[in-house]
């Protein structure tokens, strides 16, 4: 940890004047914005300073994205747009300056990863989104979505594959992200304590740092495997104790988030670890798919799903977490039933346009015409304009069945490829990084059965980075001869 700290300190010291100038410009810009409310006073000076800094040291600009993601808040922009500030503007800068970085460093860069099978299918996934946007029923919304997807894939898959050349770069990334993440948890726990740590007040404590308690808890859940990875190399003494304190804070944050999906991520992480160690992932993945297809097919056959429609009068918002859990089983919790309401609408939408879907990010604009009133709840007017709360069904509805097949092929190949790679690697920090990435990805995939969080900066960034980690680890192992020779023949 001290080596990482001294490395970052030396970088700042060597560029001290530029850093001070950048910080002053940013502070003046923020102050001017707060005093006048004009976004241009914030955006133009800070943007010019950030561009200059990014050209001078692109890797620091990139790490700034990760350092600001935990604290990023949603800001409304003119024209009905919004952004996660300051993380998303930093993504835009990174996306714009990346070609400049390639031009300046071109001879030193390795782009062999572009031909990796995982990258190929990821590109296919992206171009299918582009194609579906071109024929979308709401083209403007779909084009905005595609643009956002573009810089997400570049920033969280391509850029780290290019600029993270050594394992120490990932170590630096993990610390840069962990520290602000833990700070957000501390702030939220303090705020939540003022409400008595009650379930009904958790959203009050997390807003505006996180959109809601689900976004907060799941962000902690998907990064938790990387805290285990850090523990494998952080060293002894106070550094180890500091890390354990961070892990304890993160787990405490998950507990008091009262989020079912995040709670389940902790035992799920342990299960996935042993599945990979036992080489059962290639068996479990098709088994899970088969079970899902059977359940969906049974619900769809002869409209069996209607038998699960709730009693409108008994479906309420629960104020206590214990009541929420019991109401979930009885189909009387409003969030659970509202999910069924949207899933059923998605089912009818899929029947209407099974091959092309309605276009990326089109669900909210279209689904009201396909709802089944058997599942109506008190919040079915959807004032938050939220999505389907099942990413897989949403992909099928918006990108057609081919889009879902491409996406599932991508994540299944990542898991199976990653497991196979894990058994080729020598024991060590690199192998543990791969394990952490695969566990985090599985937690994210589980969360996507109940949410659409891959489209948010706090979870989407980790999701795509995990895919990049599998590619990066394999390339790094080949370059440094880190494969276990006793397993290469398997």
What percent of the chain is modeled with pLDDT above 90? 58
> What is the mean predicted confidence (pLDDT) over 26-32?
72
pLDDT at 356 (0 to 100)? 95
- Calculate helix-pair angle for 167-193, 457-480, nearest 10 degrees: 160
Q: What is the DSSP string of 397-462?
A: HHHHHHHHHHHHHHHHHHHHHHHHHHTTBPSSHHHHHHHHHHHHHHHHHHHTTT--GGGSHHHHHH
Report which secondary-structure segment, H or E, holds 75.
Answer: strand 73-77
The answer to whether the pTM exceeds 0.75 is yes
pLDDT at 324 (0 to 100)? 44
- 248 or 381, higher pLDDT: 248
pLDDT at 341 (0 to 100)? 84
Report angle CA 171, 221, 330 to the nearest 5 degrees.
170
Is it the case that residue 40 has pLDDT exceeding 80? no
Give the span between the Cα atoms of 443 and 273, in whole angstroms.
11
> What is the mean predicted confidence (pLDDT) over 205-211?
93
Q: What is the per-residue pLDDT across 300-345, written as a single tens digit (0 to 9) for each? A: 766 666 666 655 444 444 444 454 444 444 445 567 777 888 898 9
Q: What is the per-residue pLDDT across 212-241, written as a single tens digit (0 to 9) for each? A: 999 999 999 999 999 999 999 998 889 999
Under a CB-based contact definition with an 8 Å cutoff, are residues 430 and 169 in contact? no
Q: Which of 287-296, 318-327, 344-353, 391-400 has the lowest mean pLDDT?
A: 318-327
Give the span between the Cα atoms of 384 and 188, in whole angstroms.
22
Phi, psi (degrees; rounded to nearest 5) at 214: -70, -50
| Mean of all residue pLDDT scores within the chain | 85
Give the span between the Cα atoms of 258 and 321, in whole angstroms.
7
Helices (H), 82-207: 87-105, 117-134, 139-153, 159-163, 167-193, 202-206
pLDDT at 305 (0 to 100)? 66
pLDDT at 4 (0 to 100)? 52
- 107 or 8, higher pLDDT: 107
- The three-state secondary structure class of 340 is helix
At 390, the pLDDT band (50, 70, 90 cuts) reads very high
pLDDT at 447 (0 to 100)? 94
């Amino acid at each position: 940890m001290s080596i990482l700290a001294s490395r970052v300190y030396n970088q700042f010291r060597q560029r001290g004047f530029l850093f001070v100038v950048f910080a002053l410009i940013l502070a003046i810009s923020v102050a001017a914005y707060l005093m006048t409310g004009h976004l241009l006073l914030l955006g133009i000076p800070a943007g010019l300073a950030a561009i200059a800094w990014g050209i001078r040291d692109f890797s620091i600009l990139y790490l700034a994205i990760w350092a600001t993601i935990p604290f990023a808040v949603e800001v409304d922009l003119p024209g009905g747009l919004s952004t996660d500030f300051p993380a998303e503007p930093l993504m835009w800068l990174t996306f714009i300056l990346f070609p400049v970085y390639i031009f300046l460093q071109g001879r030193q860069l390795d782009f062999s990863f572009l031909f990796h099978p995982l990258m190929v299918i990821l590109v296919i996934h992206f171009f299918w989104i582009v194609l579906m946007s071109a024929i979308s029923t709401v083209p403007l919304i779909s084009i905005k979505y595609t643009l956002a997807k573009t810089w997400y894939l570049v920033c969280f898959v391509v850029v780290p594959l290019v600029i993270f050349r050594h394992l120490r770069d990932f170590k630096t990334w993990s610390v840069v992200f962990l520290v602000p993440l833990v700070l957000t948890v501390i702030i939220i726990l303090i705020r939540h304590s003022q409400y008595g740590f009650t379930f009904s007040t958790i959203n009050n404590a997390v807003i505006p740092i996180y959109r809601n308690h689900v976004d907060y808890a799941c962000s902690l859940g998907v990064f938790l495997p990387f805290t285990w990875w850090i523990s494998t190399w952080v060293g002894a003494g106070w550094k180890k104790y500091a890390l354990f304190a961070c892990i304890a804070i993160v787990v405490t944050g998950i507990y008091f988030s009262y989020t079912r999906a995040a709670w389940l991520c902790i035992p799920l992480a342990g299960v996935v670890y042993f599945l990979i160690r036992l080489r059962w992932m290639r068996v479990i993945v098709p088994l899970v798919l088969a079970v899902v297809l059977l359940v969906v097919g049974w619900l769809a056959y002869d409209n069996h799903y209607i038998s699960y429609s709730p009693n409108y009068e008994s479906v309420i918002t629960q104020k206590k977490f214990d009541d929420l859990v019991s109401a979930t089983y009885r189909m009387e919790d409003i969030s659970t039933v509202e999910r069924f309401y949207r899933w059923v609408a998605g089912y009818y939408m899929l029947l209407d346009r099974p091959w092309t879907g309605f276009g990326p990010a089109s669900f909210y604009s279209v689904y009201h015409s396909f709802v089944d009133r058997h599942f109506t709840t008190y919040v079915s007017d959807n004032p938050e304009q939220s999505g389907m709360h099942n990413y897989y069904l949403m992909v099928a509805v918006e990108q057609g069945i081919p889009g879902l097949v491409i996406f599932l092929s991508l994540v299944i190949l990542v898991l199976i490829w990653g497991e196979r790679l894990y058994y080729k690697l020598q024991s060590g920090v690199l192998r543990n990084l791969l394990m952490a990435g695969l566990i985090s990805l599985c937690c994210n995939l589980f969360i996507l059965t109940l949410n659409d969080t891959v489209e948010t900066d706090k979870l989407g960034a980790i999701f795509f980075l995990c895919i990049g980690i599998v590619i990066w680890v394999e390339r790094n192992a080949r370059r440094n001869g880190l494969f276990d020779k006793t397993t290469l023949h398997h």
